[in-house]
Amino acid sequence: GKYLALLDKNGEIISIPPVLISKKTMIDESTQNFLVDITASELTQGKKLMFLSIYYFYSLGYEIFTDPNLHKWKEFEDGFKEIKISGKEEISKLIGLKLEDDEISKNLRKMGYNINNLSIRVPYYR
């Protein structure tokens, strides 16, 4: 049969997901660069896992290099999805607390959200 395999630039097999992970790609304390291979049976879930992984490694201080075709996924262009809100009352109703504007803004920013007037940009991992 045919199998999907990931090859390095020299044509050597480094992975046959999910069957084989090569010793060549084993990670240890001296590892400086690595590839994260995401395999999913559903594209939407694969995208979610990919962005979650990107944010996780970025939060650890890693530099992220992605596939140049990533820009084609407009719904995930910068890792945020935008939610329009009608005002403070809607937020209070949603979270079950009555907070002042500065408290709302401060707490949403702590959770990684971007706030701009009546829209909240929710990070993909939320």
Examine the pLDDT at 5 and tell me if it is beyond 80: yes
Residues 6+ apart with CB under 8 A from 31: none
Apex CA 108: angle with CA 104 and CA 113, to 5°?
Answer: 145
Prediction pTM value: 0.44
Query: What is the pLDDT at residue 111?
Result: 78
For residue 19, what pLDDT band results from cuts at 50, 70 and 90?
A: low
Examine the pLDDT at 75 and tell me if it is beyond 60: no
- DSSP secondary structure letter of residue 118: T
Q: Between 71 and 56, whose confidence is greater?
A: 56
